[in-house]
Amino acid sequence: MKELFGELADGTKVHRWALENGGTRLKVLSYGGIVQSLELPDRHGRYTNISLGFDTIEAYETSSPYFGAIIGRYGNRIAKGRFTLDGEDRQLPVNDGGHHLHGGPEGFDRQVWDVEEFDSASGVGLILRRTSPDGEMGHPGTLTTKVTYTLTGQGDWRVDYEATTDRATVVNLTNHVYWNLAGEGGGSVHDHVLMIAASRYTPVDAGLVPTGELADVAGTPFDFRLPKPVGADLRRADPQLLHAKGIDHNMVLDKGLTERPEHIVNLREPVSGRTLKIATTEPGVQLYTGNFLDGTLVGPGGRAYRQGDALCLETQHFPDSPNRPEFPSTVLRPGETYRSTTVHSFGS
C-alpha cells in the first residue's frame, strides 16, 4: 500500500509503502529508502515497532541520525575525506570531525528514490533505484544503484544491493536501522544478548577512523564470540570505548567476503523473546551502541531516545578502505557490478 507521507522543504513529495508477509510488517519511505518501522510480535503475539524513527518527514529531513536509511555512496568514514584512485586525488566533503561519513552531508540517506512495488514467488517488496551523477559528494563516476527490499514468506527482511559505474569509483552500501527488540522507545538495549562471529575488530583513533590494525577481540569489550549482554563491558576503562563513548567499531567477520549470505549475528531480547539473526555477504559489520543519542530526539511513541536506547548492526566493507590497501577493496570499475546481500531473520 502506497500513501503520501509528507513534503520536503523544497516541496518534493515523499511517499510511504506498507508491506506485510510472514508475520513481519514493514513501512518504507521514498526519502532515503528509510525503514520507518518494522513491526514484530513478541512471544505472546503482541506487535511492536522495533526500529527507531520519526512520524514526520520534517524530523527526518532536519534531525535524523540516519534512522533506517540507505547509506552511500560510502558507508562509514573516509579519513579527512581524501583518497587516491588510479593516481587521481579526490577530496570529498567532510561532515564528521574533519572526516567524510556515510556519503557526506547529502548522501543517499537524504535523496528521494524511485520506488517500484512487487509481489513475486520470493516475497513482497520494493525495488528502489537512484542514479548518482558523476561528482556527487566528490565521488567519481555516474553510479547507477538498485536496492531491493524483500519480505519473504518466512518474515525475513532481505536487502540486495547492486551498482554499476561508468568510471572507477569506491562503493560501500549499507542500511542504518537502529534496533531495539523490546520496542521503539523501550529503553536501554544493554540487556539484549548479542553474538557476533568475529575474532578481530578494527581499532580506531580519536576521530573513529581505523588505525589499520586488525586486533584480536580476546580479553576486550569487543569479544562477542559467545553470547553476552550488550552492556556487559561498556563501562570498562578501555581507550577504544572512550574514543567512541561506547562501541562504534567495525567487527572483522571470521567468514570474510562471501558469495552468499552467511550467518554472523544473533541478537535476543529476554523479556519479549524477540530475536534477530543476520546473514550477509559482507566481510564486516559495524556495531554501534547508540552512544550519541542524547535525549533530544523523540520517536513516534512520544518517548525521548537516550544513550544506549538502540544498537546498529551495519553490514559493510571496512571504514577507510580507500586509504587502506590491506583491507578488502571497495573499488568498482566500469563493466563490473557491485553486489551485496544482507538477510534479517526474526523470531520470538
Catalytic center residues: 176, 314
Coil, strand or helix: which one is 322? helix
Coil, strand or helix: which one is 42? coil
Residue 264 CA to residue 278 CA, distance in Å, equals 6
The string of DSSP letters for 164-206 reads EESS-EE-B-EE---B-TT-TT----TTSEEEE--SEEE-B-T
Residue 220 CA to residue 228 CA, distance in Å, equals 13
Q: Which residue in this structure is represented by grid cell 584480536?
A: 216
| Contact (CB, 8 A) for 50 and 180 | yes
Q: Is 93 exposed, middle or buried (0-12, 13-18, 19+ CB in 10 A)?
A: middle
Residue 26 CA to residue 51 CA, distance in Å, equals 10
Residue 148 CA to residue 119 CA, distance in Å, equals 12
Q: Which residue in this structure is represented by grid cell 548518482?
A: 132
Query: Which residues share a beta bridge with 4?
Result: 15
Alpha helix positions (H), the chain: 57-63, 239-244
Cα–Cα nearest to 103, from 125, 132, 128: 132
Cα–Cα nearest to 195, from 317, 285, 292: 285
